[in-house]
Amino acid sequence: MTGRLVIVGLGPGAAELITPQASDALAAATDLVGYGPYLARVPERAGQARHASDNREELARAGHALDLAAAGKSVAVVSSGDPGVFAMASAVFEAIETGNPAWRDVEVSVVPGVSAMLAAAARVGAPLGHDFCVISLSDNLKPWDVVLRRLEAAAAADFIIVLYNPASKARPWQLGEALAHIAKHRAGATPVIFARAVSEPNESIDITTLAEADPARADMRTLIIVGSSATRVVARGGRSFVYTLRHAELVEP
């Protein structure tokens, strides 16, 4: 008997940002699979098995989840944010395409979630209010040259740029180089947002500029938004907000 697998987006962290569709999918599962800290966000439920794994073993985790589903379980793979944005969904489909042929018979679905970039943007205003690019700075799975080429293209065409996975202990220098490349095309006063642990109790949000952005402030849990030429910081009372104009003009590269 073949079971089911659903890849569930838990949103950025806060329980009130988990959709009812995600909550229902979690409640219906016999088995939960995921990175430990994400699994810890899901309330315990009697009779439900939990399989925690390391964050770096995405393909192995996907295979484990598919084995459980192929054996008849109803499996929920949990992902932070949205599962389709630098998270578990792609790994599950890759495993289905390249792995055990029995996995192809598993019924698979994806429950979207509020991604970290949308939650971070909401906290400061509307910085993603115009055309934007989303780039992971991790070079674990792609050559750094690809990252740089994409940064150059995005910066030259005046996209707002969202950077996922900006830094980790193993990748300490990438963010500085990335910001330097963007700065070749964009003014020093361009707003830059460092958003960490968005919507969680230890959330921190810093609004700075491209000239003053300190790459050392980023870690694995930080997401960075670099504004376009149409992104504005507006001071008012105690707190500033950041938004990008809905209209754009030609900016010479």
Sole binder of a copy of itself in the list 28, 49, 100, 149 (CB under 8 A): 149
Buried/exposed 211-224: b ≥16 CB within 10 Å, e otherwise: eebebebbeebbbb
Closest to a copy of itself by CB, 14 vs 52, is 14
Helix H segments across the chain? 20-28, 36-39, 58-70, 88-98, 116-124, 144-156, 174-183
**Pairing outcome for strands 125-126 and 239-244:** parallel
Buried/exposed 124-160: b ≥16 CB within 10 Å, e otherwise: bbebbbbebbbbbbbbeeeeeeebeebbeebbeebbb
The minimum distance between CB 217 and a copy of itself, in angstroms, equals: 23
- Dist CA 120 CA 125 (whole Å): 9
The minimum distance between CB 188 and a copy of itself, in angstroms, equals: 21
Site string for a copy of itself, 218-247 (x = CB under 8 A): --------------x-x-xx---x-xxxxx
Q: Which residue, chain included where needed, has tokens 């491209």?
A: 210
Closest to a copy of itself by CB, 49 vs 187, is 187
The verdict on 51 binding a copy of itself (CB under 8 A) reads: no
The verdict on 130 binding a copy of itself (CB under 8 A) reads: yes
Burial of 240 (0-12, 13-18, 19+ CB in 10 A): middle
Closest to a copy of itself by CB, 124 vs 210, is 124
Sole binder of a copy of itself in the list 34, 38, 80, 82 (CB under 8 A): 82
Closest to a copy of itself by CB, 21 vs 50, is 21
Only one of the segments 70-78, 133-141, 175-183, 211-219 lies at the binding site for a copy of itself (rule: CB under 8 A); that segment is 133-141
**Pairing outcome for strands 49-53 and 31-35:** parallel
Sole binder of a copy of itself in the list 5, 10, 33, 134 (CB under 8 A): 134
| DSSP annotation string for 78-123 | EESB-TTSSSHHHHHHHHHHHS-GGGGGSEEEEE----HHHHHHHH
Sole binder of a copy of itself in the list 1, 44, 46, 97 (CB under 8 A): 97
Only one of the segments 27-35, 66-74, 132-140, 211-219 lies at the binding site for a copy of itself (rule: CB under 8 A); that segment is 132-140
Residues 56, 59, 60, 63, CA torsion sign: positive
Tell me which residues in 183-222 interact with a copy of itself (CB under 8 A). none
The verdict on 90 binding a copy of itself (CB under 8 A) reads: yes
Interface with a copy of itself (CB under 8 A), residue total 79
The verdict on 150 binding a copy of itself (CB under 8 A) reads: yes
The verdict on 126 binding a copy of itself (CB under 8 A) reads: yes
